Amino acid sequence: MRKTLLALTFVLPAAAAFAQSPEDTVKARQGYFDLLGAQMAVLAPMAQGKMDFDAAKAETAAKNLGALAKVDITPLFPEGTSNADLMDTRALPVIWERGDDFKAKLSAMHAAASEMEAAAGSLETLGPAVGKLGGACKACHDDFRAK
């Protein structure tokens, strides 16, 4: 899984640059966020006490998040790929109207994701880090993603 994520850190931006259509770009964007979600699906239940803490699984998911945090995904958000333009996306047009705010929230999400590896060693440190990352995700979703 780690090798796959590492490979995707190089492939996703390139895929966006060479995408044949706005729909292809949206699929690449959604793939990136699916990878983030898959890692959070491992970490969040542990942090919430819904699953026993497993340091090895937490470390792997946190390392994957760290790798994903290094990906510049701004090429995955070209104009013309909002939900006003295409049916299969929840990206709101306000992303391009408030681009600096969007990029700041994206940067906050990447910063929180990059901190996960250091926090994965214990449940006491994992919980607050997952909360911070979840909050960064929510802040962006609240403003820039359709429900």
> Which ranges of 18-93 would DSSP assign to H, the alpha helix?
22-47, 55-69
State yes or no: 110 annotated in a binding site: no
Instruction: State how far the Cα of 110 lies from the Cα of 108, in Å rounded to an integer.
Output: 5
Give the CB-side neighbour count of residue 72, counting CA atoms within 13 A: 4
Is 129 known to sit in a ligand binding site? no
Nearest in space to 53 (alpha carbons), one of 110, 119, 112: 119
Point out the annotated binding site: 137, 140-141
Point out the annotated binding site for heme c: 137, 140-141
